[in-house]
Structure 1
Amino acid sequence: MSRIRDLVRFLALATVWGSAFVAISAGLEYFPPVLFAAFRYDVAGVLMLAYAAVAVDDWRPRGRGEWSLVAVGAVLLIAAYHAFLFIGQQHTTAAAAAIVVSLSPVLTTGFARLLVPSDALSPVGVGGLLFGLLGVAVVARPDPSNLLSVDAVATGLVFCAAAAFGLGSVLTRRIDASLPIETLEAWSMIGGALLMHAVSLALGEPLEPSAWTHPEALGALGYLSLVASALGFLLYFDLLERLGAVEINMVSYVAPIVAAVVGWLYLGEVIDATTALGFGFIAVGFVLVKRRALREEFGHALEWGRSSSE
């Protein structure tokens, strides 16, 4: 029963996070991108901090190491990731953005190997990383005569978002400090929201007052803040503890499918064969980079299946 419950929660998380890309596309019709991302984490950060204060003892960072963790989380995992994603997604479909973001686990492994020379990627792992990058190139489809086309630049910005998340994930593990993940997420969200407000102000992003009266705009913001962020991260915390990092990374490869279906139903977006091919390259890259961990997880699943049938 526990495996069935975990599967249901896994699919729920993939659905929530996949449909979040559609909510971003919907909300960008009314809010400027960086300010929209900041508003999302104004709400989500406060909710997550309230949850951390109830759920864990160490709900407030202490000392240089713990605040360093929060700084990396705020700058890379929240501010840089979401600013690049929201700006780029103005000119990509929800599914295409989700596909490029699915490269994050591959990039995380690449950054980990780069920052720890003694743990270099094997030739197969390098091949997996190259497959993932090839997948992004296929999704972007850059025109050699116009490499700075709107579509190519937008895809590049979403790739920067995935890279920021991958680098942040590695750096938080290398800092000699520990925080409950609920505390780290809460303070990172608040700090990231403040940084994005500063960036939005520097960019001079305008906000039409009518955005606050439009049901679709408020619905997109509410969905991203309450469902995708607050509820989504609660599901993530639970599954991370039960499944581990490798299995939870598979959410990144189910979410684009959800984004494609919901984007087609709600926004009329159509995913073409080339974009689907790019997703295939990224998925192959993930399998090659994570092949050992996947083999171990598959072995555990087989053992569980045999024990359940006896």
Structure 2
Amino acid sequence: MIRIYTAFILLGLFWGSNFIYMKWAAAYISPGQISLLRVLFGFIPLAALAWRNGVLRFGQVRYLHHFSVMAALATAFSYFAMAKGTAVLPSGIAGVLGGSPAIFTSLASTLFLRNEKMNSLMVSGVALGMVGITLIARPWAALGGNDPISLAGIAWMMAGSIVFGLSYIYVRRFLSPIRLPPLAIVTWQTGLALLMLFALTDRHGIGQILQDGRATAGVVIGLGLLGTGTAFVLYYFLLQELGAVAASGAVYVTPVIALLIGWAAGEQVGLLEIVATLLILGSIGMLEIGRQRTVPREAAPMQSAVSVD
């Protein structure tokens, strides 16, 4: 059990610290370049583990089109949107918003999946989460001419969350029936996202990050190797040991860790941010409990394995 508890704590720490690493890097390179480096160094441990476990097969190439959709939605665009939003938001607030995809996943499920409808608990969870997001965004501050929070940054974070919700629908419709090992899907997904970002990202000036050793280590080690690659490996381990419901509990730790790290870095954390965080965490909890009452048990591992950010 010590190994399991350690993996759970490390997973929450790795996910929660991703936002401060993106914030550091944003001072030197573009969001696209941050995403490219993140996926590059995140792919390394994933590919190594997939090769070691022998989960990759040549025959899986027949599903390349499905992997490509997931690579574009759940990895390339999602990571870019988070980097774009974090660049103009306090890292703690970005981390709190980074825990909101479950809200949009539930909405998308209700709209596009016939057999997955929200019950009253899930509806209440979505409403609670929306209140929390509104408190974080503080749109009334813009009306008063005092806007400490970038609405463009909020929009980018929300765009990433919404796309994540849509990617879940794609998983349920096209990947769950295939029943491939989750590690194989994630490795294909990350590898293809790396190719996409390499092709689409302007790499001019990417070496500027080397001017700051902290920012370089943050992207390569913190965001890439640990926050993406190793985080997926840890999640895969917890998925096998505890199941999808318990493993996804690390999502609750992520916003808290991000907010604490932001506070330690000198970002302002007031009562409003704390209340908003609690509302979003409560929303995620209500959605998870409500989903377990409606989603078939056998579908849960596949959903969670490929939808982790």
TM-score range, shorter chain: 0.7 to 0.9
Alpha-carbon distance between aligned partners in 2 of 1:44 and 1:61, rounded to the nearest angstrom? 24
How far residue 74 of structure 1 moved from its aligned partner, in angstroms, is: 0.4
Name the counterpart of 1:94. 91
Select the residue among 54, 66, 71 that pairs with 1:69.
Answer: 66
Q: TM-score, normalised by structure 2?
A: 0.84
Alpha-carbon distance between aligned partners in 2 of 1:289 and 1:47, rounded to the nearest angstrom? 31
Question: Deviation string for 1:203-223 (max 9, x for gaps)?
Answer: xx7526432243123211222
How far residue 59 of structure 1 moved from its aligned partner, in angstroms, is: 4.4
Name the counterpart of 1:304. none
Alpha-carbon distance between aligned partners in 1 of 2:22 and 2:116, rounded to the nearest angstrom? 37
**What SS class does the counterpart of residue 270 from structure 1 fall into?**
coil
Distance change (3 Å), C-alpha of 1:37 and 1:130: same
Select the residue among 46, 51, 61 that pairs with 1:48.
Answer: 46
How far residue 119 of structure 1 moved from its aligned partner, in angstroms, is: 2.6
Alpha-carbon distance between aligned partners in 1 of 2:286 and 2:34, rounded to the nearest angstrom? 36
Asked if the contact 1:136/1:159 (under 8 Å) is kept, the reply is no
Give the % identical residues: 21
How far residue 82 of structure 1 moved from its aligned partner, in angstroms, is: 0.5
Q: Does 1:110 align with 2:127?
A: no
Select the residue among 102, 125, 132 that pairs with 2:122.
Answer: 125
Alpha-carbon distance between aligned partners in 2 of 1:206 and 1:69, rounded to the nearest angstrom? 31
Name the counterpart of 1:173. 172
Name the counterpart of 2:225. 226
Asked if the contact 1:91/1:154 (under 8 Å) is kept, the reply is yes
* Letter aligned with residue 174 of structure 1: R
Alpha-carbon distance between aligned partners in 2 of 1:38 and 1:55, rounded to the nearest angstrom? 26
How many residues are treated as equivalent by the alignment? 288
Q: Which runs of 5+ in 2 are unaligned?
A: 294-309
Name the counterpart of 2:28. 30
* Letter aligned with residue 181 of structure 1: P
- Point out 4+ residue stretches in structure 1 off by more than 4 angstroms: 292-295
Alpha-carbon distance between aligned partners in 2 of 1:213 and 1:55, rounded to the nearest angstrom? 38
Q: TM-score, normalised by structure 1?
A: 0.84
**What SS class does the counterpart of residue 178 from structure 2 fall into?**
coil
Alignment of 1:138-157 (within 5 A): 138-143=135-140, 145=143, 151-157=150-156
* Letter aligned with residue 74 of structure 1: A
Compute the RMSD of aligned alpha carbons. Answer: 2.5
How far residue 16 of structure 1 moved from its aligned partner, in angstroms, is: 1.2
